[in-house]
Amino acid sequence: FSIYGIGYKNPVPVFTDIKNHWAEDNIIFVASRGLLAGTGNNQFSPDTGMTRGMFVTALGRLAGIDQADYKTGKFTDVKADAYYAPYVNWAAEKGIVNGTSATTFSPDTNITREQMAVIMANYAKKLGYDLPVAHDAVTFADNAQISGWAAKEVKAMQQAGIMAGKGGNRFDPKGTATRAEVATVLRRFVEIVIDPQTAQGWMQNHSGSWQYMKNGKPATGWLQDDKKWYWLDSNGWMFTGGWKQIDGKWYYFYSDGSMAVNTTIDGYAIGSDGARK
């Protein structure tokens, strides 16, 4: 199987509950490629937890497995006619994920963020993918809460640019991985495997904030991209939605982070350099 085979399906799914969600583009990316389906009634339920059964199903679809090759398994709580059954059997057989006991898988239990990191690392290893070390290692504020059995994989996923932290420089290892977060992780995995250069450039954390990565480090200060200007704070986070005083001058940044130019906002004229007159 080649990851290059993952293309758009038609029609692209239309979900009524993802408009303006921070992961909207990522959800469309994975749903249009058949990796994740909706939850019914034109809903994706982006902030709902991701179950173990759903997660390995997405990975099996990503790997392009033949379901007919994995009809039987060892878990008594995985019914043969369940949609996730062949994917669970495949993931367990390949050593990508373990059961919750010798005979149970707990397919309806939500996965945590550190569990997601371990499973993704196992997936990469078992399918022969090399994870890039594209970013400097981050010491999260809650590093002490990351389980010892997951610490190596969390670091690998972060340095590859596949997983990021949340607000307050937290990784939230015991927090439930949401469907939106999984969509984001899957998209990053696809793009980074296809072209490691995508580990550079814009990167969104799991709270919806943006950084611009250069040579594995977040850019700070002024940044020009696609003829637009952005402001990134000392930690590299993009400023959005309002006025910002920089070096004694006031600038206005739209909700997408781009600087306003040649316009009037809140009664103030803004010149071609973006500064308030």
The predicted structure's pLDDT at residue 10: 42
Mean pLDDT of the chain: 90
Alpha-carbon span 174 to 32, nearest angstrom: 29
Domain termination site, one of 154, 174, 202: 202
Domain termination site, one of 152, 176, 202: 202
Work out the angle between the directed axes of helices 113-126 and 179-194 (0-180°, nearest 10): 30
Distances in Å between the alpha carbon of 238 and those of 170, 263, 276?
17, 21, 20
Range of the domain at 62: 23-202
pLDDT digits (tens, 9 = 90+) for 6-63: 444 445 678 999 999 999 989 988 887 789 999 999 999 999 999 999 999 999 998 8
pLDDT digits (tens, 9 = 90+) for 195-245: 554 445 777 776 778 888 775 578 899 999 888 999 999 988 999 999 999
The predicted structure's pLDDT at residue 202: 79
The predicted structure's pLDDT at residue 32: 79
The predicted structure's pLDDT at residue 33: 79
Q: Are residues 239 and 190 in the same domain?
A: no
Q: Are residues 163 and 41 in the same domain?
A: yes
Is-cis flag, bond preceding 11, omega within 30?
Answer: yes
Q: For residue 272, give the 3-state DSSP assignment.
A: coil
pLDDT digits (tens, 9 = 90+) for 136-193: 999 999 999 999 999 999 999 999 999 999 989 999 999 999 999 999 999 999 888 6
The predicted structure's pLDDT at residue 79: 96
Q: Are residues 233 and 146 in the same domain?
A: no
Average pLDDT over residues 95-110: 96
Which residues are registered as beta bridge partners of 245?
A: 250
Say which CATH number the domain at 262 has: 2.10.270.10
Q: Are residues 100 and 126 in the same domain?
A: yes
Q: Are residues 187 and 266 in the same domain?
A: no
The predicted structure's pLDDT at residue 134: 85
The predicted structure's pLDDT at residue 12: 63
